[in-house]
Amino acid sequence: MEVLTSLFNVALLVAMLRTTAPILLVAMGGSFTTKAGIFNIGLEGQMLVGAFFAVLGSIWTGSAWGGVLCGVAAALVFALIFALLVVTFRANEVVVGLALNILAGGMTISLMKAVFGTRGSIVGQGIVGLPKVQIPFAREMLGSWAPLISGYTPLVYVAFLAVPLLVLFYRRTRLGLHIRVVGEKPEAAEALGISITRIRYTSSLLCGLLAGLAGAHLSLGYITMFTENMSSGRGFMAVAILIFSNGDPLRVLAGCLLFGFADAFSLRLQTFGYPSYLILAVPYLVALAALFALSYRARPKLIRETAETMRRFLSAEPDKPSNPRPQ
């Protein structure tokens, strides 16, 4: 009983919200490209360059918000390159995304060596972290549960506020409607005079904006440092969430909370002496289980659709020639 109490408590929920925030930010960014009909696997790279340049900008400007702007700008550059190659030059989106992920990993390591003369991590060096927001009267209203709503960096609140805002965006705004039409019915979008290229560029840049915020939160809010491959697969987790949520903000939130809980729970298990290589695999096992459950759930529908197609094909009469030749 004591073990369960030490595992499942307010601290675990607080850790879950903190670990959910970066995944939620980058997944909300990915919802723009998903809704616009682009499979963006380059979220990992955009997030990683956002984290690195946020640290660099924080040192250069002496301000956490200056670092956030630099991180967002770097992610926007990667998003623009992705859009240029995929939308304008019609390159394969999976190949481009993987190439940008590899570029981000190598570039951050090389720049770390060139600028700071070190490899592995950047600690200290004048990095300014994001401030924590203390909500007034939270302790008086919630008592010991106050840490659930107070004491986070601003980007954590931005991540969770983005969910209802994106719901309203897709349902109530002209741009949101155009993004959905372009993703679901591009032929109808062209008939209505909607520029598919412009909408997909806009979606890619909005994705880069939120991916940059996610990276900045990792290096300036989640912890105040930068390490090699700091994103640690969070971008790929976001891609997995987008696959089974189809970019819907509420489903994205549910998936991110699931992975955030798995991540926080794995970190908590490390204190009980379990092997670290097993503990660190927990979030990825959850991702695989979620994708398997989704494909298993969709299998009966696929079988029904295939059977219906075969039935129509077999029951169809052979085509008769429209202009038979005279005998």
Q: Give domain limits for the chain.
A: 2-124+142-311
Q: Would you state the pLDDT for residue 138? A: 80
**Count H helices, E strands: the chain?**
14, 2
319 pLDDT more than 90? no
pLDDT over 90 for what percent of the chain?
A: 57
The pLDDT value recorded for residue 106 is 93
- Angstrom CA distances, 28 to 43, 162, 166, 226, stand at 11, 8, 8, 23
The band of 285, judged by pLDDT with boundaries at 50, 70 and 90, is confident
Q: Over pLDDT 70: what percentage of the chain?
A: 82
Q: Which fold has domain 2-124+142-311?
A: ABC transporter involved in vitamin B12 uptake, BtuC (1.10.3470)
58-62, 230-234, 251-255, 282-286: which has the minimum mean pLDDT? 282-286
* Residue range 234-255: mean pLDDT, rounded: 90
pLDDT of residue 118: 84
- In the prediction, which pLDDT does 74 show? 97
CA dihedral of 55, 59, 60, 64, whole degrees rounded to 10: 70
Per-residue pLDDT, 327 = 41
Task: Give me the pLDDT at residue 321, please.
Answer: 47
Average pLDDT, integer, range 242-271: 85
pLDDT at position 296 = 63
**By C-alpha distance, which of 158, 129, 131, 139 is closest to 10?**
139
Who wins on pLDDT, 304 or 46?
46
Q: What is the pLDDT of residue 132?
A: 92
Query: Does residue 275 have a pLDDT over 70?
Result: no
Mean pLDDT of the chain: 85
Mean pLDDT of 141-151: 82
- Listed residue (89, 111, 86) closest to 99, CA to CA: 86
Other beta carbons within 10 angstroms of residue 143's beta carbon come to 8
CB of 101 within 8 A of CB of 34? Answer: no
Least confident residue range of 1-10, 67-76, 105-114, 209-218: 1-10
The whole-number average pLDDT for the span 193-202 is 95
Q: Give the pLDDT confidence score for residue 100 in this predicted structure.
A: 96
pLDDT tens for each residue of 36-66 = 999 999 999 999 999 999 999 999 999 999 9
d(CA 158, CA 20): 12
Structure confidence at residue 206 (pLDDT): 97
Q: So what's the pLDDT on residue 324? A: 45
pTM of the model: 0.85
Q: What local confidence, expressed as pLDDT, does residue 26 receive?
A: 96
pLDDT of residue 5: 57
Q: In this predicted structure, which of 51-55, 249-253, 321-325 has the lowest mean pLDDT?
A: 321-325
